[in-house]
Amino acid sequence: MALDHKRVEITGTIVSDSKRTAVHINGARMNQSSTNFLIRVKSILVDGKITSIRIPVRIYTNSTIIYYPGEVIKVVGNLGLTNERRVSASLSSNKIEIISIGNILDQGTNAIRSAFRAELRARNSDAAALIPGVVLGDTSLQSSEFTLIMRRVGLTHITAVSGANLAIVTSFILWICQWILRGRRKRIVVTVVFLIGFIFLVRASPSVLRAAVMAAVLLFAKAEGEKTQSVPALGAAISLLLLLDPFQGVDAGFALSVLATSGIIFLSKPISKFLQIRLPRFIAESLAIPIAATMLCTPVIAALSGQISLTSIPVNAIVAPAIAPLTVIGFSAALLILVLPRVSTLLLNLGEPIAYFITWVANIGGGAPVLKIASGFHGWGISVALLAGAIYLFIKFRRYWKFVLLISLIPFLYLQTPWYSGGFPGKNWRVLQCDVGQGDAMLIRTAPHNAIVIDVGPEANAIDTCLRSAGITQIDLLILSHFHADHVAGLAGALRNRKLISVWVNQSQSPIFEYRQSIALLIGYEIKKVKLGDRIEFSTNYGKFSATVLWPKNSNSGENSEKLAEEGSAINNGSIAISFDLAGVSIFTAGDLEPAPQSELLQSGALSHVAVLKMFHHGSKFQDFAAIKRLSPSVALISVGSGNPYGHPSRETIVNLEQIGTKTLRTDLAGAISLAWSYDSQHRVVISTRNSGKEWWRIKWS
């Protein structure tokens, strides 16, 4: 783009809701959340020249003002490139001037959405947060934890306005109209008017327009009752949508919408007939639709998420009967929120128990394990193969389907028994290096479900997944080596549904934003700012355990250390370095310490040989290899993200470790890594390793 990074003034109309982005990680730093929305530009002022233009631009701002669709604004800032296919450019600015507000329709829908959201926010529950998602596609009230659970059980589609939502609303309005209006034409006209109003209320985005077309297909299919008529209608709908917006062809939402509609058209009837052998007709029909849609959507979901939820179909089937009444009640409450607020509140009181039922089912399903597979094309291929195999077995051995189902479940059930020890991390693991991407997180086991946790990585879900896979429900001691985001930003995930006993942190409060974020999450816990010589000892299920702080010497150790070529050296050099001893096996971790403090620490004689070394600073080139040689670790663990832009780990580091005979394991190649040990006939420690693996063909139970 010729105007890339140019200072411009643009004028345009806001065409999307404001979205508050979550705090995100950029290297070692945590970027604060910001608001973004889409505008349709009308004119642009560059170098004193005004040009009329019509392009979509994404606006980012730190302003706390809420901007609404329909408002005309003037924005001053620097244009930038964007990866969004539907957007021409992005612009970050806090200089935003509202020129005019939207029309009456925009103001009305904005007022309804705001009042509806405010009423449900005051209820402060996952059930209340779910209602605007189901009714309006507004997920802004949902917590990140609940969103993760919904994704894990395959229920995120119910919080995105789909053809099913529009079909429910249309059917409801038609039902009301038949009691009020006699003429069929009048009923259809009123229904269409309400449907158009509903589309404006939920925002006429590409996904909503797609849903409207798919809803029309489903209604047509239901009216005709024949698959032969609905298939051409589906084909025409797909063609029309692609002609209007070719970018839909590379949109995962479009693929899921088409597949869900296809599943309902092609598979729901045969599934319903099969279920009617054992179940009443109305139950069979209500179960057949989510089963059919989920079956065809699973390969794409697997390609996007890298996992297959074995609870997705039963969870969708269980909550399916609750979706229609919740949608109808929520839609009615939204329409009345401004004119009859007490009636709206009463309706929401009726709808909240239904929403609670959905969240209850989702939480139960979310506690079940999932099949972890490769994402992308390989994940799609694996899931298609599994689905095809299941269908083949069902058709081939239809008479014995119960027996086939039981045989298929045996391996999965066995994986959950206490006797299974062949998986990851293994039955006897003692140390676990989590795979948290470009960051750090290590566990030292103290009991079957207890561990010491050293750093928590950059992302909450990654550390939560690691702790769940290890079966950890209590953290005896949490150590945050320093406050760079790639070591502390995952803290919320580590604390999720777990007991925490005590916390160690370093003396520094830098970086200040990350420090404050972390301390805010740790309010109510015992926090100790450790210094050189601090020590803890206690007995574990696996022998005596001790942890001794070897660095920093004082609160200014980082600031007074030699400044190196990488960003944040002072903060890195304030990292806590700790020597652990678990039943005679030594483990050493030191955060992101760089050569100067490495050398000073190891020359002091406080540490000699170690069995396990968590490599300094993700294996970067900034190492004191002479000092590391004196440690002569048996195993070195490098926590690093695949394809990271920093060149970690450096080739020089890997070569030097190989030269001293150290077994080097990297999370970017091996995934998470677990260590166990035993003793040979001469009482020498023998360390064995396992890894979760990153090969595309691996299917893991997580």
Residue 681 in this model has a pLDDT that exceeds 60: yes
**pLDDT grade, residue 20 (50/70/90)?**
confident
Lowest mean pLDDT among 234-238, 403-407, 685-689: 403-407
**What is the per-residue pLDDT for 175?**
84
Q: Are strands 29-31 and 24-26 parallel, antiparallel or unpaired?
A: antiparallel
Contact 4/46 with Cβ under 8 angstroms? no
pLDDT (average), residues 173-189: 79
**What is the per-residue pLDDT for 340?**
94
**Coil, helix or strand at residue 698:** coil
Q: Considering the chain, what is the average pLDDT of its residues?
A: 82
C-alpha to C-alpha distance for 594 and 574, rounded to whole angstroms = 10
C-alpha to C-alpha distance for 162 and 158, rounded to whole angstroms = 8
Question: What percentage of the chain has pLDDT greater than the value 70?
Answer: 82
Phi and psi based region of residue 457 (left: phi greater than 0; alpha: psi -120 to 50; beta: remaining): left
Question: What percentage of the chain has pLDDT greater than the value 90?
Answer: 29
**Lookup: tokens for 553:** 């010497």
Lowest mean pLDDT among 118-122, 324-328, 399-403, 410-414: 410-414
Crossing angle of helices 252-275/163-180, nearest 10°? 60
Cα distances (Å, whole numbers) of residue 515 to 531, 551, 570, 616: 18, 19, 15, 21
CB neighbours of 198 closer than 8 A, spacing ≥ 6? 166, 169, 331
C-alpha to C-alpha distance for 238 and 577, rounded to whole angstroms = 59
**Peptide bond before 425: cis, by omega within 30 degrees of 0?**
yes
Comparing CA positions, the residue from 619, 695, 611, 602 lying closest to residue 655 is: 619
Comparing CA positions, the residue from 377, 288, 311 lying closest to residue 151 is: 311
DSSP letters spanning 154-197: T-GGGGS--HHHHHHHHHHHHHHHHHH---HHHHHHHHHHHHHH
Cα distances (Å, whole numbers) of residue 313 to 99, 167, 233, 413: 49, 21, 27, 18
CB neighbours of 209 closer than 8 A, spacing ≥ 6? 199, 241, 244
C-alpha to C-alpha distance for 660 and 662, rounded to whole angstroms = 6
pLDDT tens digit sequence for 449-483: 999 999 999 988 889 989 988 999 999 999 999 99
Cα distances (Å, whole numbers) of residue 602 to 432, 470, 610, 625, 639: 24, 32, 12, 11, 22
Residue 153 in this model has a pLDDT that exceeds 50: yes
**What is the per-residue pLDDT for 628?**
86
10 Å CB burial of residue 411 (0-12, 13-18, 19+) is exposed
Contact 90/38 with Cβ under 8 angstroms? no
**Lookup: tokens for 700:** 């893991």
**What is the per-residue pLDDT for 357?**
96
**What is the per-residue pLDDT for 375?**
63
Contact 110/68 with Cβ under 8 angstroms? yes
Lowest mean pLDDT among 67-81, 247-261, 332-346, 668-682: 247-261
Tokens 């296809």 belong to 262
CB neighbours of 442 closer than 8 A, spacing ≥ 6? 431, 432, 433, 434, 453, 454, 455, 589, 614, 637, 639
Contact 612/518 with Cβ under 8 angstroms? no
pLDDT (average), residues 168-186: 80
Q: Are strands 673-679 and 663-666 parallel, antiparallel or unpaired?
A: unpaired
Q: Which element (helix H / strand E) includes 45? A: strand 35-46
**What is the per-residue pLDDT for 406?**
62
C-alpha to C-alpha distance for 135 and 129, rounded to whole angstroms = 11
Comparing CA positions, the residue from 420, 422, 430, 480 lying closest to residue 450 is: 430
CB neighbours of 228 closer than 8 A, spacing ≥ 6? none
CB neighbours of 108 closer than 8 A, spacing ≥ 6? none
**pLDDT grade, residue 115 (50/70/90)?**
very high
Query: Residue 4: how many CA atoms within 13 Å on its side-chain side?
Result: 4
C-alpha to C-alpha distance for 277 and 288, rounded to whole angstroms = 13
pTM: 0.70
Residue 702 in this model has a pLDDT that exceeds 60: no
Long-range pairs of 649-658 with CB within 8 A, sequence gap ≥ 24 = 649/615, 649/618, 649/619, 649/620, 650/619, 650/620, 650/621, 652/621, 652/623, 653/615, 653/619, 653/620, 653/621, 653/623, 654/619, 656/623, 656/625, 656/628, 656/629, 657/615, 657/628
Most confident of 135-139, 327-331, 378-382, 693-697: 327-331
DSSP 8-state class, residue 423: S
Residue 696 in this model has a pLDDT that exceeds 70: no
Comparing CA positions, the residue from 549, 490, 531 lying closest to residue 514 is: 490
Contact 61/93 with Cβ under 8 angstroms? yes
Tokens 């919320």 belong to 492
